[in-house]
Structure 1
Amino acid sequence: MAALVHGFDWPDRFVTGTVGEPGARTFYLQAEEGRRVVSVALEKQQSAALADGVDAVLDQLMADGNPYGIPAQAPAGLADDGPLTEPVEELFRVGDMRLSWDASTHQIVVQAMRLRTDEEEATLAEAGELAALAGLAGEEPVEEMFVVRIPVGAARAFAARTRSVIAQGRPLCPICEEPMDPAGHICPVPDELE
């Protein structure tokens, strides 16, 4: 499969951020290198899973004897609390994500693939079926991806910021633990109160 890669090997900045008000926020991953800025949209749950995954990889490397000097916490001075760089122009919406470790450069590698629409999937399937019937090799679809490589300290800072951004959402109801909207909240009756 051919790939169109929007890559950053040592970005000046790599953050999770949002646009919009709590309850209607759009989450973004944004990388910046010089004047080049790339933003991809993703779900809140994907953001949380990515932060957890980054910390899990780093924690495992520490448990293996820490030959790479992995910090247990984000080093002071690497915290980035600034807003996303404007204008935020969505390159694509993220579907699958992959996380890996590059021992040769001591970097976490984040890969975010473009989410295909149902229409695109149906078109690809149809083109593949027609090519097979005609005995031809079908055109390979282009996989578009956002690939960012970050060092270990920046990776810890990225995970910490991502958790902070997620926590800035709507407050949770103390009874049902569901997000509460500013306009009101209908709390389902817990089983123990019925």
Structure 2
Amino acid sequence: MSVFYEFDDVDSFTTGTVGEPGNRTFYMQVRADGQRVSVKCEKQQTAAIVDYLRKVLSDLPPPEDRPMPGALELAPPIDASFVLGPIGLGYDRSSDKVLIQLEEVGEVNEEGEFLDDDRGHVRLFVSRGQAAAFCDHADRVVESGRPDCQWCSHPIDPDGHACPRMN
């Protein structure tokens, strides 16, 4: 049976990693109503959410408040409810909140339709301040990994890098 969470008021929405650069696992975590939900994700998914949120926020007035930086740290235990697949993002003008929908990855058929309708789902609304703080924090988390090679843009491992452009 899959998990389904829906939160209108979120205490914290954040991202973080477990492990060393080159071997990190990314998570997104929501804390609300005394519950904590963690979702395993990819670095690229985190960066894509940041890109979209920044576009939405650029069309809105600047946020008046932001959560304290300590509220953006992953809180243990970090047990993933599911692995992130499709992401939905939007803005609700009536509540002045950003909608974030995280769905579990699933198998698709040849037409691109999901084979299983009983996938995990987290739907949450965050304030503009929470969204802006998430973006700034996520940038730091993503950038704290391995540096990219200046010639091929692939990550450089701590024990060396075989750059395809540098024979």
Larger radius of gyration: 1
The residue that corresponds to 2:147 in the other structure is: 171
* Aligned equivalent of 2:93: 103
Mark the runs of 5 or more structure 2 residues left unpaired by the alignment.
none
Please give the alpha-carbon distance, in whole angstroms, between the structure 2 residues aligned to 1:112 and 1:182.
32
The counterpart of 1:184, out of the listed 138, 160, 163, is: 160
Tell me the CA shift for residue 4 of structure 1. Answer: 5.4
- Measured on the aligned residues, the alpha-carbon RMSD in Å equals 2.5
> Deviations along 1:44-72, whole A, 9 cap, x unmatched?
11100001111111113x3xxxxxx333x
Q: Which runs of 5+ in 1 are unaligned?
A: 63-68, 126-139
Q: What secondary structure, in the 3-state scheme, does the structure 1 residue paired with 2:133 have?
A: helix
Q: Cα offset for 1:34?
A: 5.0
Aligned residues: 162
How far off is 1:142 after superposition?
A: 2.2
Contact kept, 8 Å, 1:44 with 1:166, in 2: the verdict is: yes
Which whole-Å CA distance do the structure 2 matches of 1:24 and 1:186 have between them?
18
Q: How big is the shift at 1:173?
A: 2.0
Whole-angstrom distance in 1 between the partners of 2:32 and 2:23: 29
CA separation of 1:53/1:82 partners in 2, compared to 1, >3 Å: closer, same or farther?
Answer: closer
Q: Which runs of 4+ in 1 moved over 6 A?
A: none
Q: Amino acid of the residue matched to residue 23 of structure 1?
A: G
TM-score, length-scaled by structure 2 = 0.85
Q: TM-score, normalised by structure 1?
A: 0.74
Q: CA separation in 2, counterparts of 1:91 and 1:81? A: 21
Give the AA of the match of 1:33: A
Identity of aligned residues (%): 34
